[in-house]
Amino acid sequence: MYLDTSWWIELLNVRLGRSSNRQHEELLLRLQSLVQSGHLICPLGEGVFLELLKQVDVGTRTATALLMDEMSAAVTIIDSRRRLRIEATHFLLTKSAVAKPPLERVWTKAGFVLGNRKIAFAGISEEEQSARDKACLDMRWSLRLSELLDDSDPPFDREDLTLRRGAERITDRTRAYAHEVTKFTEVFLAEVGGYIDLHGEELGAALEEIERATRGGSATSAARQQEIRESARHMFYNLFRYRKIGNSLPTIRIHGGLYAMNRWLRNRPFSHHDYYDIANASAALPYCDYFLTEKHLATITTGAPLNFAKIYGVSVMHTVEQALDALSGLAV
């Protein structure tokens, strides 16, 4: 069960005695029991992690991280860029839908929630570099979310300011071109195309991986890499355009669909919080059995024209009653 940030906060308020809501208390106890018995896990994602970093109060942030550690066992769904490449590679190799149970390669631990960058040391041998790389990997694999944080106050968040300004621009453009929006399919394909253009490098890397495997792993020239990237962009866009993608590449479909719905609804301003909601939805919908979120996101992901809950076979909920009902069927 993937919980968005608002529900982590509700559960934390119960844990800290800040809330006396009986149903929220019952939900926390039920989740804890299912997690402890091994019947359920509440994985983390980049959206939740990034919102956690924005909590100003250090004590609350630490308490939230400890609760997340307990309920997730530090299990994390990888970030959207790496996930996109994995989904594309899977599709190219199998020409099939996202695997159920979920693709194994989308899962990692909290220490790698935002990627896996290696530290290059100068003046050492390849063998020593490899040994240090392995030591770093082993250390990060064992880290829990709370161990990734320090006790300092969050710095001035330029990224947050950028997202706020970006949300304002999206709202302004949506209103300016609202008269041109007549078919949802056209808006969806426009957003899919934009997302594919933005992430052409990841899609090109997936296609290059397949090409390298077929020719024995030889290096790819810079010119050929650019050709592959352009080919990947056109190919994946046309797969969506001609409805040949099935329920594969969910990261593209969900991002494109949710941004398109923002334009389609017109009267709802785009908020900087929507960036995180979309990040959470793209991780939760294809890879989890349950997604507990807020009302607006639950409504648009379960209804037409997106129908994401049906496409990915996930139960999407926004009330504590729905969550308790869904969990009642799980053994303890």
Structure confidence by residue, pLDDT tens digits, 168-187: 888 888 878 777 878 999 99
Compute the chain's Rg from CA coordinates.
Answer: 21
| Pair of tokens at residue 261 | 């719905």
Provide the pLDDT confidence category of residue 211 given band limits of 50, 70 and 90: confident
Query: What's the rounded Cα separation, in Å, for the pair 280 and 105?
Result: 18
Domain ranges of the chain: 2-327
- Judge whether residue 99 has pLDDT over 60: no
Q: Where are the alpha helices (DSSP H) in 95-149?
A: 126-142, 145-148
Strand (E) positions, 19-175?
Answer: 75-77, 107-109
Angle at 7 between CA 6 and CA 9, to 5 degrees: 70
> Over the stretch 7-24, which tens digit does the pLDDT of each residue have?
999 999 999 999 999 999
Residue 29 is predicted with a pLDDT of: 97
2-3: strand order across its sheet: 2-3, 290-292, 315-317
Three-state DSSP class for 95? coil
Of 206, 203, 207, the closest CA to residue 192 belongs to 203
Question: Does an H or E element contain 107, and which?
Answer: strand 107-109
Q: 17, exposed or middle or buried, with CB in 10 Å at 0-12, 13-18, 19+?
A: exposed
Nearest to 80 by CA among 290, 252, 287, 298: 252
pLDDT tier for residue 206 given thresholds of 50, 70 and 90? very high
Pairing of strands 315-317, 290-292: parallel
Identity of residue 87: E
In this predicted structure, what is the pLDDT of residue 152? 61
Q: What is the pLDDT of residue 153?
A: 60
Predicted pLDDT of residue 267 = 74
Candidates 105, 102, 74, 89; CA nearest to 284 is: 102
Percent with pLDDT over 90 in the chain: 58
Single-letter residue type at 132: R
Instruction: Tell me which residue of 170, 168, 178, 238 sits closest to 203, measured CA to CA.
Output: 238
